[in-house]
Amino acid sequence: MTFSYEGMDRVFQRVAYLFFGLLLFGLGIVMTIRSNLGTAPWDVLHLGLINYFPVTVGQVSQLTGVIVVGLGLALGIKPGWGTIANLYFIGVFIDLFMTSNFIPMPGQMATQLALLLAGVLVIGWGSFFYLSAALGAGPRDSFMVGAIRKSGWPLWKVRTAIEATVTLLGFLLGGPIGVGTIIVVFTLGPSIQLAFRIMGKRAQDIRNDGLSLRKSENG
């Protein structure tokens, strides 16, 4: 038996979707941080935690991801290759963009706001691409998908509730909150849902198909 080239092409396509989505996700996060209007909710938590632990923003993102994987499991969402990749590579991409100064800090309020909103949209599309790879949701999105399935609420409502809770916890730990943080709390969920709606998909239907190659009888 030999591996089908068509099957292998499909695997490569899904892996490409996964890493393109994770790259966009990390870029979007750095865009919200660089806007200097108050970071995204999870990064309020991450930046709050680095006040107490000698780790980078990317590393603390990975550590909190491990905890959230457990919450996703409790809601019946099993981790997959995409979960592992999300847990590691988003942190890598965050540190890459942060240390390279690829995204400069804007100097005017209008450009700050534009960078923040663009970052939210980039995160939304990054979420769509990597989830569409059907290799498993990342830690935070596993929790989101599980909560959607359990509650029956729409994506935007579930994600907004999660972001608001995380923001409060991060604030209590000393994480920076600004007008941009509040904007992200109320726009990130709709941004993700918009990407899925444009592409005609629903987050609650996301599967974890794993990685496999179809086999042919030739040889």
Residue 126 counted as domain residue: yes
Q: Which of 39, 14, 15, 17 is nearest to 28 (CA)?
A: 39
Establish if 189 belongs to a structural domain. yes
* Mean confidence (pLDDT) of the chain: 85
pLDDT band at 211 (very low <50, low <70, confident <90, very high): low
Contact (CB, 8 A) for 176 and 44: yes
* Residues 167-187: tens digit of each pLDDT: 999 999 999 888 999 999 999
Tens-place pLDDT, residues 140-158: 888 888 898 889 899 899 9
Note the pLDDT tens digit of each residue in 106-130.
889 999 999 999 999 999 999 999 9
pLDDT of res. 61: 78
Confidence (pTM): 0.80
Domain that includes residue 30, residue range:
11-208
Q: Does any domain span residue 3?
A: no
pLDDT of residue 209: 63
Task: Tell me the CA distances in angstroms from 131 to 24, 105, 140, 202, one per residue in order.
Answer: 12, 30, 12, 10
- In this prediction, residue 198 carries a pLDDT of 93
198 class by beta-carbon count within 10 Å (0-12 exposed, 13-18 middle, 19+ buried): exposed
Residue 84: is its pLDDT beyond 70?
Answer: yes
Classify residue 5: in a domain, yes or no: no
Residue 6 lies in a domain: no
**pLDDT for 25-70, tens place per residue?**
999 989 988 988 877 788 789 989 999 988 888 788 778 878 888 8
Torsions phi, psi for 209 (to 5 deg) = -90, -5
Q: What is the pLDDT of residue 2?
A: 41
Tell me if 85 is assigned to some domain: yes
Provide the domain count of the chain.
1
Residue 1: inside a domain: no
pLDDT of 76 over the 90 cut? no
pLDDT at residue 219 in the model: 39
CA angle 212, 213, 219 (to 5 degrees): 145
Q: In the chain, what are the helix, strand and coil shares in percent, each to the nearest 5? A: 70, 5, 25
Confidence of residue 83 (pLDDT cuts 50, 70, 90): confident
Higher pLDDT, residue 7 or 201:
201
Domain for residue 4, yes or no?
A: no
Buried b (16+ CB within 10 A) or exposed e, 164-181: eebbeebbeeebbbbebb
**Is the pLDDT confidence value at 4 over 60?**
no
Question: Which residue from 7, 48, 13, 35 is spatially nearest to 135, judged by alpha carbons?
Answer: 13
Inform me whether the pLDDT recorded for 6 exceeds 70: no
Residue 215 reports pLDDT greater than 50: no
Helix (H/G/I), strand (E/B), else coil: 3? strand
